[in-house]
């Protein structure tokens, strides 16, 4: 309520903010429609190992707005969380991803690929997630161990015990977990030890500054060592240059994702890439 009052005050004094708010309200209405009118699409970004072999992909959500064109998830995911559409949207993403994994399982060149799916903290707190996943996996026949859920530290801040229990249940279904944007949140190392994780994902901000800022390099190195000591795989995201890849590989990083290897691609293009790399 204090927040709403603050916003009203801002609107009153600042016509620019008022316009931005009206704009946001419009976009929010469009977002509700978009879920029903199937304006969403998943793009797939390659994840590769230290030898450049394809391990799988991360599914990244894209919204094709009828008038505005493509809108970034960095913009519409927070909006979807705010207006309560994230549950429906997140279920759609999981359904598409499982359908894709089932389809890939039928194609020898694609059968080994894993698929990482981003889960919003809101989604992870919704009661029905475990039941939904159980049904979805059974119905889709997706190879469970190929599905990796990406959480950010924001999913872990509230009720850690409940989160650990839920992750445990989902892992018993065969799912894997990766901690996205690692190093940018507030999760304590004490919890990290207890979370049933499979992978840490070095945030792209550290990768970006790796070769220019000693601190970024120190953090990247620390994450890699931490992963090693905890028995977790480590993947670096946002790798844009060969120099960054070599520096990370030199420090023992096992897996990579970024524009240097491939952009997030529409399904057909990603599959073509996978076939090409598979030869």
Q: Using CB under 5 A as the criterion, which residues of the chain lie in contact with Mg ion when the complex forms?
A: 118, 150, 180-181
Q: Does 56 bind ligand C2E (CB under 6 A)?
A: no
User: Least distance from C-beta 60 to Mg ion, angstroms?
Assistant: 7
Three-state secondary structure string covering the chain: CHHHHHHHHHHHHCHHHHHHHHHHHHHHHHHHHHHHHCCEEEEEEEEEECCCCEEEEEEEEEEEECCCEEECHHHHHHHHHHCCCHHHHHHHHHHHHHHHHHHHHCCCCCCCCEEEEECCHHHHHCCCHHHHHHHHHHHHCCCHHHEEEEEEHHHCCCCHHHHHHHHHHHHHCCCEEEEEEECCCCCCHHHHHHCCCCEEEECHHHHHCCCCCHHHHHHHHHHHHHHHHHCCEEEECCCCCHHHHHHHHHCCCCEECCCCCCCCECHHHHHHHHHHHHC
Site size toward ligand C2E, by CB under 6 A? 23
Nearest to 163 by CA among 197, 198, 200, 199: 197
Q: Does 97 bind ligand C2E (CB under 6 A)?
A: no
Q: Which residues contact 4 (CB under 8 A, 6 or more apart)?
A: none
Give the CA count within 13 Å in the CB-facing half-sphere of 253: 29
With contacts defined by CB under 6 A, name the span among 28-36, 105-113, 138-146, 231-239 that binds ligand C2E: 231-239
Nearest to 224 by CA among 206, 200, 192, 240: 200
Q: Does 100 bind ligand C2E (CB under 6 A)?
A: no
For ligand C2E, the binding residue among 264, 265, 271, 274 (CB under 6 A) is 264
For ligand C2E, the binding residue among 28, 198, 209, 240 (CB under 6 A) is 240
User: Least distance from C-beta 19 to Mg ion, angstroms?
Assistant: 28
Q: Does 91 bind ligand C2E (CB under 6 A)?
A: no
CB nearer to ligand C2E: pick between 76 and 104? 76
Residue 70 binds what, of ligand C2E, Mg ion, none (CB under 5 to 8 Å, by partner type)? none
Residue 45 binds what, of ligand C2E, Mg ion, none (CB under 5 to 8 Å, by partner type)? ligand C2E
With contacts defined by CB under 6 A, name the span among 158-166, 190-198, 238-246, 265-273 that binds ligand C2E: 238-246
With contacts defined by CB under 6 A, name the span among 4-12, 117-125, 153-161, 218-226 that binds ligand C2E: 117-125
With contacts defined by CB under 6 A, name the span among 30-38, 118-126, 136-144, 227-235 that binds ligand C2E: 118-126
For ligand C2E, the binding residue among 101, 233, 238, 256 (CB under 6 A) is 238
Q: Does 181 bind ligand C2E (CB under 6 A)?
A: yes
CB nearer to ligand C2E: pick between 18 and 208? 208
The footprint of ligand C2E (CB under 6 A) covers 45, 60-61, 72-74, 77, 90, 93, 118-120, 150, 180-181, 204, 237-240, 258-259, 264
């Amino acid at each position: 309520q204090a927040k709403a009052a603050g916003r009203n005050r801002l609107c009153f004094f600042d016509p620019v903010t008022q316009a931005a708010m009206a704009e946001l309200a419009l976009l929010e209405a469009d977002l509700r429609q978009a879920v029903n009118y199937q304006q969403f699409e998943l793009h797939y970004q390659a994840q590769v190992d230290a030898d450049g072999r394809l391990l799988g992909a991360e599914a990244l959500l894209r919204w094709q707005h009828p008038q505005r064109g493509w809108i970034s998830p960095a913009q519409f995911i927070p909006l979807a969380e705010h207006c309560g559409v994230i549950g429906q949207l997140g279920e759609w993403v999981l359904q598409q991803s499982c359908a894709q994994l089932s389809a890939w399982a039928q194609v020898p060149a694609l059968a080994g690929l894993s698929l990482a799916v981003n889960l919003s903290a809101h989604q992870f707190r919704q009661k029905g997630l475990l039941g939904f996943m159980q049904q979805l996996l059974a119905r889709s026949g997706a190879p469970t161990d190929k599905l990796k859920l990406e959480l950010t530290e924001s999913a872990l801040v509230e009720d850690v015990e409940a989160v650990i229990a839920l992750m445990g249940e989902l892992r018993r279904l065969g799912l894997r977990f990766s901690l996205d944007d690692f190093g940018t949140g507030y999760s304590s190392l004490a919890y990290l030890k207890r979370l049933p994780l499979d992978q840490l994902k070095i945030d792209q901000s550290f990768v970006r500054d790796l070769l220019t800022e000693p601190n970024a390099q120190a953090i990247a190195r620390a994450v890699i060592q931490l992963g090693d000591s905890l028995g977790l795989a480590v993947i670096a995201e946002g790798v844009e240059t060969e120099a960054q890849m070599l520096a990370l590989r030199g420090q023992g990083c096992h897996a990579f994702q970024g524009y240097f290897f491939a952009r997030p691609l529409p399904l057909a293009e990603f599959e073509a890439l996978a076939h090409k790399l598979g030869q």
